[in-house]
Structure 1
Amino acid sequence: MLLAVAGYVGGALPGATATRVWHSGAGALTVVLWLVGTAAMVGAWWVLRDGAPSTRWAYATAGLWTLPLLVTAPLGSRDVYSYACQGWVYADGGDPYASGVAAAGCPWVAAVAPVWRDTPAPYGPFFVLLAALAVLLGGGLVGTVVLLRVLAVAGLLAAACCLPGLARAAGVPPRRAAWLVLACPLVGVHLVAGAHNDAVMLGLLLGGLLLVQRATRPAAPGATAGALVMAGVLLGLAVSVKATAGVVLPFAALAAVRGRLTPAALLRDGGTLAAGVLGGLVGSSLLSGLGLGWLGGLGRSGDTEQWTSPPTAAGMVVDYVGELLGRQPAAVPVTRVSGLILLAVLLVLLWWRAWSALRDRDGSAESDRTRVALFGAGLALSLTVALAPVFHPWYATWPLALLAVTAARIAWFVVPCAVAAFLALPDGTNLARLVKAPGAVAMTVLMVAVAVWALPRLRHPPQRSPQSSGGATTPNRP
């Protein structure tokens, strides 16, 4: 409720966007309400990080926490207004991938953050179709924002329905998985109140992965091919919302294999899944008439420079040192490209690690395969978030959704989510801007420490460990 009030006092309401929240008449009140409310949510979430009293209790409590956030102003960013304008451009007959919303003449451009007014849409055609539908049915900016929030809540509800099945398949208590995902402050503030399309992506992604898991159960082998195609369609639509969902696909292919994991089996079942993915991508592209133009907008998502992205932080540190030596800053683009190259290499190594862990096991260990494959997918999303050119707090919900249903140890991804909850103020102001140089140095040091600790562990596949007291086996993991 404190966060909801802060949203109305100083949230991302339509209108002028140049004034910082603390420069407004109610700035001090907004910041106090926001920080106290965030601290309360983070503290309560942390206390039950090992699991709520029951799965039903977790759902009910998270639902109650969400209610005030359903009726407040957009929180944490102004991206929902970008969605609205991109949907308006398409509904008006334009191409949101050809130009920014300002050049296209969106009547609501004043509500869009200035940095995104001249950039093309970086989202896939399926989400553009959804945004255009919200514009047509909304009848105005407020109505469009409400419907975009409804879409986000629908995506979150779909994800919530999939969590217990995925958790049980991976040997994780559903009450813990449900609590970690649904009660996370990032989910309520950014996915619900902020109406970010990440919620839609996660709903499709978890739905597709759950179908993959069910298709490989020995109980219904006759339905495997059709279920895998349908799972692939959902995964393809997830990619057609945000391209980052694509890093999960190779691991989903491992989870899709029935019986012993061999190249032939991977080609058979992974190929069936890939056909569905291709159908989802091609279908949404053809239905929208936009083709693959959205891929060009992906390169503009890193127009801002913040130390919260480790590669960007490293480049900033190099530039600071260079300025002391009289050189012009030019390292950030280089470190960003280097980060993407490193990401590609690590994703290949991570997939090979999962393949190596599973290829010699017989077909009876279906739960083990699901756990290893989905845990690998969660790590892949973690690496994607860590090595991307830009980081926003809600990005942390991507790996959270998969790690919550697979990971044995949780502190290493719960702590970053808790910290990320404090990075943005209700109007979208990024607090990281206040400490650029110290933040860049601290992030660079942390990145080096994590690399020294984690990289040697990627060389060894996870091993099966004895059964825990709950009856589930868990692989040794980072």
Structure 2
Amino acid sequence: MTRAGAPETPPRTAGRARWAGLAGAVLLTVGGYVGGALPGATATKVWNSDDGPLTVALWLAGTLLLTGAWWALRRGAPSTRWAYVTAGLWLVPLLVAPPLGSRDVYSYACQGWAYAQGVDPYAVGVAGAGCPWVDDVAPMWRDTPAPYGPVFVVLAALAATVGGGLTATVVLLRLVALTGVLLSALCLPGLARAAGVPTRRAAWLALACPLVGVHLVAGAHNDAVMLGLLLLGLLVLVRLPGRPRALVVAGVLLGLAVAVKATAVVVLPFAALAAVLGRYTVRALLRDGGWLAGGVLVALLGASLLSGLGPGWVTGLHRSGDAQQWTSPPTAVGMVVDYLGELVGWNPAAVPVARALALVLLAALLVLLWWRAWAALRGLNDVRQRVTRLEAARPRVALLGAGLALAATVVLAPVFHPWYATWPLALLAVAGRRTLWFVPPCAVAMFLTLPDGTNLARLTKAPGAVVMAVLVVAVAVWGLPRLRRATIDVD
């Protein structure tokens, strides 16, 4: 297991990793221009194009180099500054790449265009709205309402209005995503120090991860904005707990994160734990958590009312699970049950059932995680020198609980895309003492897409579903007996 006190990486290894990662980023950028998600390049799949073999070769080589370089320093970069410089160096070629690994940025552009034209993006898909760039949107999402919050819809509308054309709009949306990543970078050292984790390791894991450069920045995913606001809100909480004004500000930031992408809502109960100053009692939780909740409500209501979109954005969420891919564990289990049913001439339609059961399990896990975190902090109330221990434990327990909540959400959600792994990664990087269990999945996730946005899970449905289902069973057999004894370590 990798621990916080792991030895420093030898300079020669670090130097090789830096330049190997840069080479990988350059190859990915070149692969994107050869056969990526360029505007207008929608007719031919990458494997059917004349440049298909070259595109795949460039993409695979770049992914291996970039991911391998990140993995080589998983115990931590030589220094925090070195980690920031290297992560920034890897971003340089990706900033000028075409959209990589996904065509979602074109959906963002059309949704922003629709809102700017007075069309409700939560009531109609981008095709029905008459977006002039609809041919660049992935066919699956042309007729679905926007599943994103009003804050991001407004940002996308500003980009579409200022940009005018598609290319300029994509560039502006990438700058918005880059701003979210920079905001996360600003918050990481403070959060890591508060949780007692080396900043050189936290910065490396959270910023140099290939998923960040390729999907959040080059792919311009709005997850970057959500994470930036989320981390800033949590930083305010761990720095200024128990202060009403600070709690309201933190609540507003967290509410804005939810109003970008609703996933951030699972962090709020753990943020309430970080808000408490002093002994953990129900009264203190209601007092300090109340200020925080007030800020969240102000942000959500304000964004909904000022944008003129109202609560309609909530109804768009259910369409985000239209895709059925084995990368989502509950979906994979449902697919396997369907395959087995077909062998005996029966169609059980198990995917919706498996997904529903997974959401019930997720709700139970979130309650359990929060209760364990609450119990761990309450257990320090009557310990001698409790003030010192409590103040040291509070940030780590809250941040770790939030990271585990996001990890559970990613695992049990109806659909999984590679960039979803950045949600728990950001928080586990600053709060996790052991990293071996969450770093490998992030590395594997880098290999799930091609530069034009093709998800390889679509090409490996049956074998992928079987492998994932077997993994689910193995994890359940190994993990469930240990779950009852699990605690959140406060030391």
Q: 2:173 aligns with which of 148, 152, 166?
A: 148
Equivalent position amino acid for 1:38 in 2: T
- Give me the TM-score of the superposition, normalised by structure 2: 0.92
Give the equivalent residue in structure 1 for 2:182: 157
Match of 1:342 in 2: 361
Segments of structure 2 that go 5 or more residues without pairing to the other structure are 1-25, 382-386
Quote the residue 2:417 is aligned against: 392
- Asked whether the 8 Å contact 1:135–1:144 carries over to 2, the reply is yes
- Cα deviation, residue 463, structure 1: 5.9
Q: Deviations over 1:197-229 (max 9, x none)?
A: 00000000000000000112xxxx7xx111110
Report what 2:253 is aligned to. Answer: 234
- 1:305 is aligned to 324
Q: C-alpha separation between the residues in 2 aligned to 1:182 and 1:366? A: 27
Q: 2:373 aligns with which of 343, 354, 357?
A: 354
Is residue 73–residue 193 contact of structure 1 (8 Å, CA) maintained in 2? yes
User: 1:77 — aligned with what?
Assistant: 102
Q: Give the aligned residue type for 1:3.
A: L
Aligned to 1:469: none
Counterparts of 1:345 and 1:126, CA distance in 2: 29
* 1:263 CA displacement: 0.3
State the Cα deviation string for residues 267-301 of structure 1 (Å, max 9, x = none).
00011100001111111111101011011111000
Query: 2: CA distance between counterparts of 1:367 and 1:147?
Result: 41
Does the 8 Å contact 1:231/1:273 carry over to 2?
yes
Partner letter of residue 380 of structure 2? R
More displaced stretch, 431-440 vs 266-275: 431-440
State the 1:19 CA deviation: 2.1
Number of residue-to-residue matches in the alignment: 460
Write the distance in 2 (CA, Å) between the matches of 1:458 and 1:202.
28
2:48 alignment counterpart: 23
* 1:405 match: secondary structure: helix
Distance 1:99 1:306 in 2: 25
Give the 5 Å matches for 1:55-204. 55-204=80-229
Would you say the 8 A contact 1:354–1:461 is kept in 2? Answer: no
* CA distance in structure 2 between the partners assigned to 1:72 and 1:431 by the alignment: 21
Whether the 8 Å CA contact 1:353–1:458 is kept in 2: the answer is: no
Give me the whole-angstrom Cα distance separating, in 1, the residues matched to 2:89 and 2:60. Answer: 20
Asked if the contact 1:260–1:360 (Cα under 8 Å) also holds between the matched residues in 2, the reply is no
Cα pair distance change 1:329/1:21, threshold 3 Å? farther
d(CA) in 1 for partners of 2:289, 2:155 = 29
Among 288, 292, 304, the alignment partner of 2:311 is 292
- The reply to whether residue 372 of structure 1 matches residue 397 of structure 2 is yes
Match of residue 333 from structure 1:
352
CA change 1:249–1:463 in 2 (3 A) is closer
Alignment partners' CA distance in 2, 1:360 and 1:271: 22
TM-aligned CA deviation for residue 329 of structure 1: 4.8
Quote how far apart the aligned CAs of 1:16 are: 4.4
Partners in 1 of 2:43 and 2:477 — Cα distance? 41
1:415 paired with 2:440, answer: yes
Residue 448 of structure 1 deviates from its aligned partner by: 1.7
The separation in 1 between residues aligned to 2:167 and 2:152, in whole angstroms, is 19
CA contact (8 A) 2:372 2:488 kept: no
Assess if the C-alpha contact under 8 Å between 2:397 and 2:488 holds in 1. no
Distance change (3 Å), C-alpha of 1:114 and 1:96 = same
Measure how far apart 1:327 and its partner are: 1.0
CA distance in 2, matches of 1:379, 1:78: 29
Taking the aligned partners of 2:258 and 2:480, their CA distance within structure 1 comes to 28
Pairwise CA distance, 1:17: 2.1
**Residues 234 and 280 in structure 1, CA contact (< 8 A), matched pair in contact too:** yes
Amino acid in the other structure paired with 2:78: P
CA apart distance, 1:461: 5.4
CA displacement at 1:452 relative to structure 2:
2.5
**What is the distance in 2 between the residues matched to 1:192 and 1:462?**
36
Q: Within 1, Cα distance between the matches of 2:114 and 2:392? A: 46
CA contact (8 A) 1:101 1:117 kept: yes
Supply the distance in 2 between the matched residues of 1:227 and 1:460 (Cα, whole angstroms). Answer: 36
Distance 2:141 2:280 in 1: 45
Instruction: Show the 5 A alignment for 1:25-44.
Output: 25-44=50-69
Instruction: State the partner residue of 2:283.
Output: 264
Matched to 2:55, the amino acid is T
**Letter of the aligned partner of 2:70 in structure 1?**
W
Q: Cα RMSD (Å) of the superposition?
A: 1.1
Contact 1:16 1:110 in 2 (8 A): no
197-206 vs 15-24, greater mean Cα deviation: 15-24
Alpha-carbon contact 1:123-1:242 (below 8 Å) kept: yes
Contact 1:311/1:389 (CA < 8 Å) preserved in 2?
A: yes
Offset from partner CA, 1:303-325 (integer Å, 9 cap, x none)? 11100000000000000000001
Counterparts of 1:151 and 1:239, CA distance in 2: 17
1:281 aligned partner: 300
Q: Distance in 2 between matches of 1:455 and 1:368?
A: 26
1:205 alignment partner, one of 215, 219, 230: 230
- Please state if 1:443 is matched with 2:462: no
What do the CA deviations read for 1:312-363 (whole angstroms, capped 9, x no partner)?
Answer: 0000000000000101251111111111111111111111111111112134
TM-score, structure 1 normalization: 0.95
1:462 shift after superposition: 3.0
Q: CA deviation at 1:414?
A: 0.4
Alignment CA distance shift 1:202-1:301 (3 Å): same
